[in-house]
Structure 1
Amino acid sequence: MLKRLMFSQKAAPYLFVLPFVLTFGIFWAFPLGRSVIMSGQNILPGQVENVGFANYERLFGDRLFWLAMGNSLRYTILTLVLLIPIPLFLAVLVNSKIGSPRLKAFFKSAMFIPALTSVVVAGIVFRLMFSESSTALMNQIIGVFGLEPTKWLKNDLTGLAALLIVALWRWTGVNMMYFLAGLQSIPQEYYEAADLDGASRWQQFRYVTLPQLRPTLIYVVTISVYGGMAMFLESFMLWGGNNSPQNIGLTIVGYLYRQGIEKNDLGYASAVGVVLLVVILAINLTQLSFNGMFRKEATR
């Protein structure tokens, strides 16, 4: 019976997609639905009270929520500004005919290693690097230029700069690999034709490389938006906890963690999570629509 079912042309497709459906339902759809329900409840030990939209009303009047959301949005925008052009430039260099193949292979491996490094270990190292001590690495670097030691993690702008440096260190190599894969999928004939037409290197990049890289660019932007808005552990480890000075390192996920885990207010934390999901979906659907991902191809 089972053998006949597995080799059935009608049943086989459903059997192949069943693992995905189960994984999606158990680890995404069910938790999401449960979170939506919990966002309308006041959950206490041994007691659950339905409160309707009270958690959302409280949330939109919560100054700390808007501060955390602003921190996450600012971080996300700046990571997009840095983690799109810089990895793309590096990928173009690695994909070019300039340089030794062995050196390029070593460079790719070296750039990807930070993504394999534990965020906990990296956070501790960067916390020591950005320490306010005069012997800390970053203070020694600015000391070369005659500047006084800075309390990096106690000021808003310098704390944000530290977070961005961690993001650059960790994700530049990953995004470079995505772009490199996209570049290597572009047929070489396109460049040969452009070269015969007298196109310069910049014109080839603008009119051949960028249009052909569009799907990769859209993918990298999409995952970067999610990664920026979902960032938590880097901030947690950089400040050694979820309580940074004047909440300069508090992200929206950190605020969710504070309410749900530290204060045990699961109903309110669920409301924060639902709003965060809506914000991420709105941003990504907007940029996908702007890039024409939902347009139907013209048919002849």
Structure 2
Amino acid sequence: MLKNFLYSQKVAPYVFVLPFVLIFLVFWLYPLASSAEMSFQKVMLGQSAQWVGFDNYAKLIDDSMFLKAVMNSVTYTVMTLVILIPFPMLFAVLINAKFMWGRELFKSVFFFPALTSVVVAGTIFRLMFGEMEGSLINSLLGIFGIEPVKFLKGHTTGFVALLSLAAWRWMGVNILYFLAGLKNIPDDYYEAASIDGASTFQKFRFITIPLLKPTTIYVLTISIYAGMAMFVESLMMWNGNNSPQNIGLTIIGYLYRQGIEKNNLGFAATVGLVLLLVTMIINLTQLALSGLFKKEDA
């Protein structure tokens, strides 16, 4: 009886979907609902929760430190998009070109940094961008007669270090995404364009870029999420969550400071919900602008 029930054509699809539904409910929807409830409470370890209404949200809006964290996260996200969208696309086109030799070697070299632990990578880059004359970057600058720079103590130079780490770790991953997208473009399109006398740039402009749109949208979406959720890189770069003048403070870092360091879990839940809302608005906006939600003509 049970076997016939499980093998029923009407029941089988629900049996296969059930694990995903359970995981979604237990590990996403329930924590989200709990966080929403906590955002209206004052929750501290060892104390009973107290209902405070919208006080956490009002406090968050007036907190200049939170606004600084938002600006830092948005700036970091925008800069990573500028670096990690066009350059991986160009590199993928070059690697995929017929004249390119050793393409498998280039794929491995570019992808290898993604296998490195972010803790290890952050520590290495902190040493590279150290303020001592013997640090790698200052040693290179010294060759050109430039005085040592305190990279991690300035806002602009600190972001240079963070963006260098992001580019080093994720450039190869995005290249592989674009390479996968290029494999789905038929060679017939390029051959027809060559017969019509199209230049290499014209092929890239009118064939490669439009047909890579689905891949570009995917890479853009995950890059926005990764940028807004960045924390460990900043934590390791400054060897803690307290960078000079909070130049490396991100939204997640601010959440960690309130929830873990200050034991204010209710306020931290508010920060998390606001981060989720901001990220969803940004991603849904870019998806709408890209035409993903438009119905295709029959």
State the shift of 1:196 in Å. 1.6
Structure 2 CA distance, aligned partners of 1:260 and 1:244?
Answer: 18
State the partner residue of 1:228.
Answer: 227
Could you tell me which residue of structure 2 aligns to residue 42 of structure 1?
A: 42
* Alignment-derived partner of residue 23 in structure 1: 23
**1:46: how far off?**
2.9
**2:297 aligned residue:** 298
Residue 88 of structure 1: aligned partner? 89
1:197 paired residue number: 196
**1:98 equivalent in alignment to 2:99:** yes
Aligned position for 1:111 = 110
Partners of 1:99 and 1:208 lie apart in 2 by 20
Shift of 1:19: 1.2
The answer to whether 1:157 aligns with 2:156 is: yes
Question: Displacement, 1:177?
Answer: 0.3
Higher mean C-alpha displacement, 190-199 vs 60-69: 190-199
Alignment of 1:1-300 (within 5 A): 1-44=1-44, 45-100=46-101, 103-299=102-298
Equivalenced residues, count: 297
Please give the secondary structure, in 1, of the residue aligned with 2:43: strand
Q: After superposition, what is the alpha-carbon deviation per residue over 1:157-184, rounded to whole angstroms, capped at 9, x for unaligned?
A: 1000000000000000000000000001
Letter in 1 for 2:94: L
Q: Superposition RMSD on alpha carbons, in Å? A: 0.8
What is the alpha-carbon distance in structure 1 between the residues aligned to residue 2 and residue 266 of structure 2? Answer: 45
Residue 42 of structure 2 aligns to a residue whose secondary structure is strand
Deviations 1:52-108 (A, max 9, x none): 1110000000000000000000000000000001111110001001122xx210110
Distance in 2 (CA, whole Å) between partners of 1:64 and 1:206 is 43
Q: Aligned partner of 1:148: which letter? A: E
Query: What whole-Å deviation, never above 9, does each CA across 1:159-214 have from its counterpart, x for those lacking one?
Result: 00000000000000000000000001111111111112211111111111111100
Q: Give the gaps of 5 or more residues in structure 2.
A: none
Q: CA deviation at 1:144?
A: 1.3
Deviation at 1:6, TM superposition (A): 2.4
Distance 2:2 2:82 in 1: 54
- Distance between the aligned counterparts of 1:73 and 1:18, measured in 2? 37
Distance 1:50 1:120 in 2: 38
Deviation, structure 1 residue 27 = 1.3
Which secondary structure state, in structure 2, belongs to the residue aligned with residue 253 of structure 1?
helix
Which structure 1 segments of 5+ residues have no match?
Answer: none
- When the two structures are superposed, what TM-score results if normalisation uses the length of structure 1? 0.97
Q: Distance in 2 between matches of 1:117 and 1:163?
A: 16
d(CA) in 2 for partners of 1:10 and 1:114?
47
Q: Structure 1 CA distance, aligned partners of 2:198 and 2:25?
A: 51
SS in 1 for 2:50: strand
- 1:246 CA drift (Å): 0.5
Quote the Cα distance in structure 2 between the aligned partners of 1:268 and 1:107: 46
Identity within the alignment, % = 59
- TM-score, normalised via structure 2 length: 0.98
Cα deviation, residue 227, structure 1: 0.3
SS at match of 1:47: coil
Distance 2:193 2:23 in 1: 46
What amino acid sits opposite 2:15 in the alignment? Answer: L
SS in 2 for 1:35: helix
Shift, 1:117, TM fit: 0.6
